[in-house]
Structure 1
Amino acid sequence: MIIKYANEEDIAAIAAVEAECFPSAEAATAKEFVDRVKYYGNHFWLMYEAEKLIAFVDGFVTDERDLTDVMYEDATLHNENGAWQMIFGVNTIPAYRKQGYAGELIGRAIEDARLQGRKGLVLTCKERLVPYYAKFGFVDEGVSEKSTHGNVVWHQMRLSFDGVCR
C-alpha cells in the first residue's frame, strides 16, 4: 500500500471510489473533484494497492471553525494558511473495509495537520460513526446546525490540538 497526495491523474479513480461509497445525494461529482484537486490536492490522502485506489480522505483548510455545506461545493474557499483542516470524506471501497485503511489515512491527515501548525481537524458524520471517530480523539459537538448535506443529519466532530473544543 502506498499513500500519496492527489493530482489530475487521480480524479477518475477518486470519483469512482466516492460513487461507490456514498449515495448520489451525498457524493461529490467528478467536476467537483476536478476543482478540489486543483485547489487542494495536497489535502487528499490517497491509498493505492498497486494501481488501484482503495481509499481516500479529503478536505480543505480554512479559518472557519465549523464545516458548512457551501464548503463541499466551493473549492476556492480553501485557505492554505487556515487554522482548521476540514475532512469532507472518508472513503474505502467495500471490499477493503474493516482492515484499518481508513484509520491509517485519518492518522496521516491528523499528523499532517499537526505538522502544518493547524488548530485541529473538523468533520461531520452520521450518528452511528461518532464512536469510530472518537477513537482518533475527535469530540462530538452534537448535530450540526450548518450542514444538512444530502438532506442528512450530521454530527460535527472536532479534534483540537490544544484540547479545547468550542
Structure 2
Amino acid sequence: MEITNVTMADLPEILRIERLGFTAEEAGTEAQYRDRIGKIADTFLVVKIDKKVVGVVVGPATKEEYVEDWMYENTPKNLPTGGHQIIFTIAIDPEYRGHHIGSQLLDAMEQLSRKNQRESISLTSLERNVPFYLKNGFENKGVADSDHADETWYNLVKTL
C-alpha cells in the first residue's frame, strides 16, 4: 500500500470510487475533481494498492474552521501554513473497506496538517459515519449549517 499525492491520471479511478460511495446528489463531479486536483493537489491524497487507486482524501486548508457549502462549488486554494484542514471527501473502494485504509488516510492527512501547522482537521459527516470519525479522534460539534444533498450533516473536528 502506498499513500501519495494525487495526479490527473488518478481521476478515472477517483470518480469510480466516488460514485460507489456516494449518492448522485452527494458525489463530487468530474469538473469539481479536476478543479481540486488543479488547486489543492498538495492536500489531495490517494491510496494505491498494486498501482490501483483504492482510496482518497481531499480538502483545502482554509481560514474557515468548518466545511461550508460554497466550498464544494468553488474550491478554495490552500493556505501555505496555519488555518484549518478541511476534508471534503474521504472514500474507499468497497472491495477494500474494513482494512483500516480510511484510518490510515486520516493519519496521513493529520501528519501533513501538523507539518503545515494547521489548528484542526474538520469535516462533515452523515450520522451513520460519525462513529468512525469518533474512533479516529474527532469530536462531534453538532449539526452542520449545510443543506448539501438535502441531508443532515454533522461537524466533526480533530484539534491538532
TM-score, with structure 1 as normaliser: 0.91
* Counterpart contact for 1:63–1:79, Cα < 8 Å: no
Structure 2: runs of 5+ lacking an equivalent:
none
In the TM superposition, residue 113 of structure 1 has moved relative to its aligned partner by 0.3
Partner of 1:80: 79
Partner of 1:17: 17
Alignment length (residue pairs): 159
Cα distance in 2 for residues equivalent to 1:87 and 1:107: 13
Superimposed CA distance per residue, residues 104-146 of structure 1 (whole angstroms, 9 cap, x where no aligned partner):
001100111011100010000011222211122211010002x
Cα distance in 2 for residues equivalent to 1:23 and 1:115: 34
In the TM superposition, residue 79 of structure 1 has moved relative to its aligned partner by 2.9
Q: Aligned with 1:153: secondary structure?
A: coil
Q: Aligned with 1:36: secondary structure?
A: helix
What is the identity, as a one-letter code, of the residue corresponding to 2:11?
Answer: I
Structure 1: runs of 5+ lacking an equivalent:
162-166
The alignment yields a C-alpha RMSD, in angstroms, of 1.1
Partner of 2:127: 127
Partner of 1:164: none
Cα distance in 2 for residues equivalent to 1:28 and 1:101: 21
Partner of 1:49: 49
Cα distance in 1 for residues equivalent to 2:10 and 2:130: 29
In the TM superposition, residue 151 of structure 1 has moved relative to its aligned partner by 1.0
Superimposed CA distance per residue, residues 72-101 of structure 1 (whole angstroms, 9 cap, x where no aligned partner):
1111x2233350000111101111111101
Partner of 1:91: 91
What is the identity, as a one-letter code, of the residue corresponding to 1:96?
Answer: Y
Cα distance in 1 for residues equivalent to 2:105 and 2:65: 22
**Identity, % of aligned positions:** 30
Runs of 4 or more off by more than 4 Å in structure 1?
A: none
Partner of 1:115: 115
